[in-house]
Amino acid sequence: MRLGTAACAVAGALISLLALRAQAVASPPLPEPGFVGPLSSDVQHLHFKYGPIAIPPGHNLILVGPVTIEKPAYDGYVVGFRPNLVNADGTVPPIEQVHLHHAVWLNLSRRDTTAPNLPGQRFAAAGEEKTYVKLPAGYGYPVKASDVWALNYMVHNETPAPQLVWITYDVDFVPASSPLGRKMIPVQPIWMDVQNGKGYPVFNVYQGSGTNGRFTYPNQAPDAPQLNTWTVDRPGTLVWVGGHLHPGGLWDDLRIQRGRRSLLLFRSKARYFDPNGPVSWDLAMTVSRHAWKIAVKKGDRLQISTTYESRLASWYESMGIMIAFMAPPERGAIDPFHNPKRIPTTGNITHGHLAEASNHGGEATGLPNPASRPGGETVNDSVGISWFRYLPGDLTFDGTLGAPPVFHGGQTIHFYNLDAGDQIFHTITACRDPCTGSTGISYPLANGPVNFDSGDLGYGPTGYTAAANRDSWALPANLPPGTYTFFCRIHPFMRGAFRIVK
């Protein structure tokens, strides 16, 4: 299809913007890692970074850092872990511009506890909720000087310009040779995931699914693979647990099964600071209290589920993960089936509102409601996506390219991602009319009156990316007459519309 001179002008302007941005990010690197707090013989506060990570526009791939990522250089115990994402100057980028979809730290010198087929042991993780891990006093994750760490990460660039960022991680560390280190109790990470073992463990929650505006995965997904259960391989004591989910998520549940009996061990709830409700990354997760010490037996089954709201919007590429730490058997730990009322199933958040989650979006932009605009040209077949524009029908244009293209009822409407060759992913995702508010972490939402979503049009390695591994997608031909608005989940500033007539 031909996109015309207006599209070419947009492409030229964006190329210039990208060139300027590439120069702008050539800033001095972050300071060398080191101690960011006072040292003592007991706990050291170590600051590490991985980067620079150059994120092209539209980047949406899962990558693995080299096996030389920084770590403590001597034997000891990790007792605290705090992740972050920063710019070259150390500031944290707004989430609506650069988004830490996930980061997973692996110890390649150990076998993973719940998915031994993976190349290493998963012991820490982060998304934009950035939960802080602080183990109860006296417990620590053991690290050897010879251990090798790796980082699996996925960072979204939600802008049309290249970005340069670092993933940082602050580690509270007890040297093994210190007086406290000689008394530490080692813990083992127990990674629980509703899609455990998958390279990209995600699922979709559709608006209106589930019951009473809530959808629990995998319980209410009859075709979901049963990957959410782990059989305890040795007796032990669970001493800490926290959850991870995505916008729209309400809580993660960790349950224990022994024979036919099943009990809730902990519910990691999302506390949203967003005034719009549970719709964005402006949240913090609850983690277990220090009194949470659960005795488990060999053969017990741990099971995770995650619950999302389903009344406000659809939620694509969602996750449900909980990381627990297990120590050897201890006297005084709660046997859940002997003393179920003693289990503290609720906890506390690890931080408050984060400054990078402050732009919620949805402010008036002055763009006209596409439903009130005259229809554009009658299109026989398709809409192209080129240089972050839907053509025709992009809502940020004033001319004919911005007028909703007209299709006749019964036509199949094809969308083509012409940026796919540059590894730029795009989606076509329904949003509620007029879908013209300012971009933020809670606007726009996938809340159109008719659900449709193309998936991530683009190409990437199967199983390790959100890519649909195609560059085109067709809307169903049975949509009723009306004006439909949509956006790109990867670049939410992108908005478009089309119109169907009889």
The answer as to whether 11 is a domain residue is no
C-alpha to C-alpha distance for 480 and 451, rounded to whole angstroms: 13
The answer as to whether 412 is a domain residue is yes
Contact 376, 400 (CB under 8 A): yes
pLDDT digit string, tens, across residues 3-58: 333 333 333 333 233 232 333 333 334 333 333 343 456 899 999 999 999 988 87
Segments forming the whole domain that contains residue 382: 361-501
SS3 420: helix
**Number of domains observed in the structure of the chain:** 3
- Is residue 170 domain-shared with residue 41, that is, in the same domain? yes
Q: Domain boundary at 130, 146, 179, which?
A: 179
Q: Domain boundary at 179, 197, 221, which?
A: 179
The answer as to whether 14 is a domain residue is no
- Is residue 48 domain-shared with residue 130, that is, in the same domain? yes
- Is residue 353 domain-shared with residue 390, that is, in the same domain? no
- The pair of structure tokens assigned to 121 is 């042991």
- Is residue 354 domain-shared with residue 283, that is, in the same domain? yes
The answer as to whether 331 is a domain residue is yes
The answer as to whether 41 is a domain residue is yes
The answer as to whether 6 is a domain residue is no
pLDDT digit string, tens, across residues 212-257: 999 999 999 988 888 999 999 999 999 999 999 999 999 999 999 9
Query: What DSSP letter does each residue of 325-345 carry, written as one string?
Result: EEESP-TT-B-TTT-GGG---
- Is residue 168 domain-shared with residue 206, that is, in the same domain? no
- Is residue 344 domain-shared with residue 239, that is, in the same domain? yes
- Is residue 156 domain-shared with residue 259, that is, in the same domain? no
- Is residue 382 domain-shared with residue 451, that is, in the same domain? yes
Q: What is the CATH number for 282?
A: 2.60.120
Q: Domain boundary at 179, 202, 233, which?
A: 179
Q: What is the CATH number for 56?
A: 2.60.120.310
| Burial readout 339-356 (b: 16 or more C-beta within 10 A, e: otherwise) | eeeebeeebebbeeebeb
pLDDT at 6: 33
The answer as to whether 4 is a domain residue is no
The answer as to whether 68 is a domain residue is yes
What residues have CB less than 8 Å from 480, skipping those under 6 apart?
409, 500
Nearest alpha-carbon partner for 199 in 88, 119, 315, 265: 119
- Is residue 467 domain-shared with residue 393, that is, in the same domain? yes
Neighbours of 211 (CB within 10 A): 9
- Is residue 175 domain-shared with residue 40, that is, in the same domain? yes
pLDDT at 27: 35
pLDDT at 340: 86
- Is residue 431 domain-shared with residue 479, that is, in the same domain? yes
Indicate the pTM of the whole model.
0.89
- Is residue 349 domain-shared with residue 436, that is, in the same domain? no
Q: Edge-to-edge, what's the strand order for the sheet holding 382-386?
A: 389-391, 382-386, 413-417, 472-475
Low-confidence ranges of the chain (pLDDT < 50): 1-39
pLDDT at 410: 86
